[in-house]
Structure 1
């Protein structure tokens, strides 16, 4: 009999799938099993996958704009997804249905996390706010304010008492959930902070930044423990080993293994995964996932072949540091251990609300959104195996426990193991200060141009009428390319100049309209906005006029209705919303008047004012008839826009 060949690979590519019909915008691994993958796409869907299986298990619909952030809870029973428009949806995977729709943020949802014990979700947004949601009651418990830029990552502490946040403003903040206030701020990074992660046992926090450093923070003394410098690029994903002995960093095309007391690199494993987006551990294997355009790739690193502590190093290389600097015994923690409660956590203390949106009662619009959200099972066999309860005691069945097999050694399509450096590589740092040298933050690679969606979602109420693609040169290379700092800055400067020209022109146009507006002549103000031939200026003006119905007159309708027809056909979501609002106001306020005047018998004699009114009504009726066909054709759309067009279609029924 032939002997079974010994597997000698440390890292290999497991699989590549086409995850969405359009570009993938976010993904996350389930940390409970390490085998469940959720992806969010520009197609507004959330798709669920089992690692190393080719078919989608479930597809979740309901969002009307690209899904920017996804997160699974630890038991992998619930998933939460946040969109570019600021809405959040929670699905129950075992029941295969939408659970909650949460609305309150005003911009992209950049980060989400489930509370480890209670039924709460934290969300961080580009609007700089952090919100804590009670998903049982569909309400916002508290809003945390303090960051000045987008909140990129949120993590609850293992004991569920704290929330850590990382933001583009270069800071990490720690929030006390019970007291509802910030406990501490950790400055020191010189670039946007992309990720934070709590140590699984000790009072220790790790943060990774675009300044190419990882910092470790003591949560008892609230000070820096150490700083890892020399990362090959921006730090996007980090993960503590389950026993807390080391930290894994998913670098560009490599996995690095770090200790923090003292700061040192235990191992470097080359993995051809590009920019890895998330990490998880399963059966002594580390799973990494990366995405490019519509494709998602998964990779495996065999952790039994990776050096994870400094104790192994003594067999390979002599550690010349003084005894005081030798690595500590990993079995003896240096700081306090988390105390995990045996039951679910208490509801956070209710504090003074900051705005009317903090506690929302369920509305008919929310209910309609939930009815229009779907959990479509794509692969019943895999779904039943993973999510369906096997008995009344165990709600979630155990996942398979076999490790992922390595490919044959002669498989040319897999990633070959690179020559490993010495098992322990000391990183030289200036001691005892931990200041980061002044350097420009690294700029991540520019993705290939995305296919333009039918509706471009709005991130704020004020439309700007611009696309990012307007300011970036077209990238003809199909795959993503890492740019050097100089090239990236050159592209940004070119886009900056273009944007300044566009915004300066728009500002000048708005000043022109505002000058007329101050005279009190609303009709002339709208006429001047239309004459400028800039639809974004018309939208800005209508957003103001729509707030006060008394400003509307019949002659104003004759000017606005042709512009509304253009807005309803726009590819910008905010333009469509403004057009629908204005048209609904006109129909409710003026349609009965128009139909009554047109149906009235002709008058005897000459009545100039009546003739003028009749002329305006005929003109409005003609314009409304032109728009009615467009409204009817769009009333079959799904989501928020479909609902708005169906309501308009009913209001316009009397035109027929």
Structure 2
């Protein structure tokens, strides 16, 4: 039976040159895990399809390097913030600029789309957080409280809260309805780079440059646990879709964590350097990293990664109130986010600023159209990704195929093959019942053919054949003598010819020397031939 092919757990998928200058930011589409947006110092936003070499669309309009990009959940809109503080929103299906938002006094460090309404949150180097209404094209509210740059913003799954992480070592939670800060989470000793909400529970994770990951309870507003010992600054974290674990993109590795109690389930070595963003699709984790103008993508097969830690509840615990502390400290019972019944946004429930502050000049629309362009560079991929969304939705939606895993190296294959595999134990008994079923079919054939007569031979040579007839003729001594004679004749012929040439040239040179000495060229009766080279200098 053939040996099963052992595939890699993590591998490099692709490396592309994303911009003409350095790449400054990038983001993966979380819905499909196949769409990549990059921002560069060339003031452009480029869109790519993972594992395809050509750019789908290039968005222009910014006049300074793009510092932050973000895709909305359906991957129909993209927002980009620049170093000058301007924010631009593009409609990817219509391939045009949608809004230009001005108001920040420094570069944009973080962006996020509201999960249901048409709102965008922006964090800047000027320490301010602003909530923008895309339809009204203006600032809805400004949140103040951080003392340094705001590095990450995330809306809660129900769209009621906004979490912010900043260089001032703090994480803050904002209530969008009341327009004020709900709680502040201190504890980190370095800049906080990323925050992420649990997909179901009232739980928040934060990663910092102090090499720690902290989990915060959003009911009691206190720390649940702290994971220390990260190999470097934490820049990207992502919860598993079912909420069973947290993935942390570390320096050249992927780590899988649980939080009650804090523990590491698995570590996968991935040579992705400083990973910038993570996404999950088809039980595969996609990670992207950038260096100068290059962007690299990597894949981790999550089916081969340990992801234990799913929260289970018995009937007694399920009947208790959510605010009551359970007897088992390893099990957490928290509230679950309440999603709105429809996706229709309700602007009146969000606290707004005055109408005069929200309104923008009416002439800005025409100016946006002139200054911004959406250049479709690959029409085939553009139509495949964006245009089918205008048709009737398929239920359930068609899932993209996972990326095929390459085979493992020879050394790793040998190690894996030596280990007992459950799959092999299941496959081995299958062929055994088929073997005894075939002999009855073979017995129907005549038996004399299955018993050939073997006559022992008394000679070691075939009868009637000569082995010399199949071997080349050996004439080594005679061939050597002929070769020596031919070589000597060729040498002699060449030697005689060379002697004649050298003798002729010697005579010509002797004549030239004699004339040169007397300094009377006209008296020479025998001039040198044209084929004779004249030396540049003669000995005295």
TM-score (ref. length: structure 2): 0.71
Aligned residues: 534
**Deviation of the 1:264 alpha carbon:** 0.5
2:466 is aligned with 1:467: yes
Paired residue secondary structure (2:329):
coil
**Deviation of the 1:367 alpha carbon:** 3.3
Cα-to-partner distance string for 1:11-37 (whole Å, 9 max, x where unaligned):
000000000000000000000001110
- Hey, what's the Cα distance between the residues in 2 that align with 1:182 and 1:314? 33
- RMSD of aligned alpha carbons: 27.6
- Hey, what's the Cα distance between the residues in 2 that align with 1:447 and 1:199? 74
Q: 1:127 to 1:220 in 2, by over 3 A?
A: same
- Whether contact under 8 Å (1:32, 1:74) holds in the other structure is yes
Paired residue secondary structure (1:343):
coil
- Hey, what's the Cα distance between the residues in 1 that align with 2:218 and 2:183? 9
- Hey, what's the Cα distance between the residues in 2 that align with 1:456 and 1:126? 97
- Whether contact under 8 Å (2:85, 2:106) holds in the other structure is yes
- Hey, what's the Cα distance between the residues in 1 that align with 2:443 and 2:149? 17
Deviates more, 1:43-52 or 1:402-411: 402-411
**Deviation of the 1:392 alpha carbon:** 3.7
Greater helix share, 1 or 2?
1
Cα-to-partner distance string for 1:149-168 (whole Å, 9 max, x where unaligned):
00000000000000000000
Q: 1:81 to 1:512 in 2, by over 3 A?
A: farther
Cα-to-partner distance string for 1:460-491 (whole Å, 9 max, x where unaligned):
99999999999999999999999999999999
- Hey, what's the Cα distance between the residues in 2 that align with 1:356 and 1:476? 109
Q: 1:216 to 1:507 in 2, by over 3 A?
A: farther
- Hey, what's the Cα distance between the residues in 1 that align with 2:508 and 2:340? 60
- Whether contact under 8 Å (1:389, 1:395) holds in the other structure is no
**Deviation of the 1:9 alpha carbon:** 1.2
Cα-to-partner distance string for 1:483-519 (whole Å, 9 max, x where unaligned):
9999999999999999999999999999999999999
- Whether contact under 8 Å (2:239, 2:246) holds in the other structure is yes
**Deviation of the 1:401 alpha carbon:** 1.7
- Please, which runs of 5 or more residues in structure 2 have no aligned partner? 535-539
Paired residue secondary structure (1:4):
coil
Cα-to-partner distance string for 1:181-200 (whole Å, 9 max, x where unaligned):
10000011010000000000
- Hey, what's the Cα distance between the residues in 2 that align with 1:479 and 1:185? 102
- Whether contact under 8 Å (1:443, 1:485) holds in the other structure is no
**Deviation of the 1:408 alpha carbon:** 3.1
- Hey, what's the Cα distance between the residues in 2 that align with 1:165 and 1:374? 32
**Deviation of the 1:284 alpha carbon:** 0.3
2:65 is aligned with 1:66: yes
- Whether contact under 8 Å (1:171, 1:187) holds in the other structure is yes
Structure number with larger C-alpha Rg: 2
- Hey, what's the Cα distance between the residues in 1 that align with 2:44 and 2:252? 28
- Please, which runs of 5 or more residues in structure 1 have no aligned partner? 524-597, 609-655
- Whether contact under 8 Å (1:239, 1:279) holds in the other structure is yes
**Deviation of the 1:7 alpha carbon:** 3.4
Deviates more, 1:489-498 or 1:47-56: 489-498
**Deviation of the 1:297 alpha carbon:** 0.2
**Deviation of the 1:281 alpha carbon:** 0.1
- Whether contact under 8 Å (1:271, 1:415) holds in the other structure is no
- Hey, what's the Cα distance between the residues in 1 that align with 2:169 and 2:12? 34
Which consecutive aligned stretches of 4+ in structure 1 deviate over 6 angstroms post-superposition?
Answer: 311-332, 350-357, 411-523, 598-608
- Whether contact under 8 Å (1:129, 1:151) holds in the other structure is yes
Deviates more, 1:469-478 or 1:332-341: 469-478
Q: 1:606 to 1:520 in 2, by over 3 A?
A: closer
- Whether contact under 8 Å (1:203, 1:337) holds in the other structure is yes
Q: 1:124 to 1:115 in 2, by over 3 A?
A: same
